[in-house]
Structure 1
């Protein structure tokens, strides 16, 4: 690890100290390293060809005319990005869906924008994580894949 000296104004230093206390960082250095890691991740994700994993969470009114069909069609049109989807009935009218996605950040962002912008979708949030979508996951897991079907498993290697 390299040691560097930086000059920082009082307001930014107060922010680093508040962040350190709020997030329980052991030091200012760890807080600054985390800020820089997030900035680097954001910069990498700005490349539309960068591989990523993502979660897309959105709340929608299932009674909005034709919305369920439009959302289903959009998911089928982009089946290559989908790993899994969780569907939860929040109340009589609203549903929450969480989609786990894998692909290039540009394709995933485009899909998310298409879902979130649908009339009747009330809230939506995309969370991108760096990933390697074409990497083999290197183990057997007890079932066969049909033509054109692939999925991923997260591992702490």
Structure 2
């Protein structure tokens, strides 16, 4: 293991310390290592032609102009990736969906981008786990 020195502006350091405390890290090095690992894993899965699993979660306005039918259409178009989908009614206007996906990571990323980019979709997030991990 190597020791390095980095320079951070005060606001970024305050954010790092708050994150470290919130997540229970014992020191800044542990937090930075995890942030770097997560970023590298995310970048690796976006560009990889490998298989794995992913969880796509998003909140959307179900009354937004044909949005629900566009999302269902996208899901059917990529039916080979879908393992399961959970649909939750948050309130009168909003729904939460969580989709478990399995397949080629590039195709999963493309599907997630297609869903998250729809007008009316908020809080989209894709968590990937490649087969190697």
Q: Same fold (TM over 0.5)?
A: yes
Tell me which structure has the larger Cα radius of gyration.
1
Aligned equivalents of 2:91, 2:19: Cα separation in 1:
36
SS of the residue corresponding to residue 63 of structure 1 reads: coil
Stretches of structure 1 that go unaligned for 5 or more consecutive residues are: 136-157
SS of the residue corresponding to residue 86 of structure 1 reads: strand
Please name the residue that 1:154 is paired with.
none
Q: Does 1:123 align with 2:122?
A: yes
Contact 1:56/1:124 (CA < 8 Å) preserved in 2? no
Please name the residue that 2:112 is paired with.
112
Query: How much has 1:98 moved relative to structure 2?
Result: 1.3
Query: What do residues 17-75 of structure 1 show as CA deviations (whole Å, max 9, x unaligned)?
Result: 45433322123332232123123212312314133322222223333343333222221
SS of the residue corresponding to residue 123 of structure 1 reads: strand
* Selected match of 1:7 from 5, 28, 46: 5
Query: How much has 1:89 moved relative to structure 2?
Result: 1.6
Aligned equivalents of 1:79, 1:29: Cα separation in 2:
42
Aligned equivalents of 2:13, 2:66: Cα separation in 1:
50
Q: Does 1:57 align with 2:57?
A: yes
TM-score, normalization by structure 2: 0.75
Q: How many residues align?
A: 130
Query: 1 or 2, which has the higher helix percentage?
Result: 2
Please name the residue that 1:89 is paired with.
89
TM-score, normalization by structure 1: 0.66
Aligned equivalents of 2:36, 2:66: Cα separation in 1:
44
Query: What do residues 105-124 of structure 1 show as CA deviations (whole Å, max 9, x unaligned)?
Result: 221121122222334x3314
Greater length-normalized contact order (CA 8 Å, ≥ 6 residues apart): 2
Contact 1:45/1:128 (CA < 8 Å) preserved in 2? no
Stretches of structure 2 that go unaligned for 5 or more consecutive residues are: none
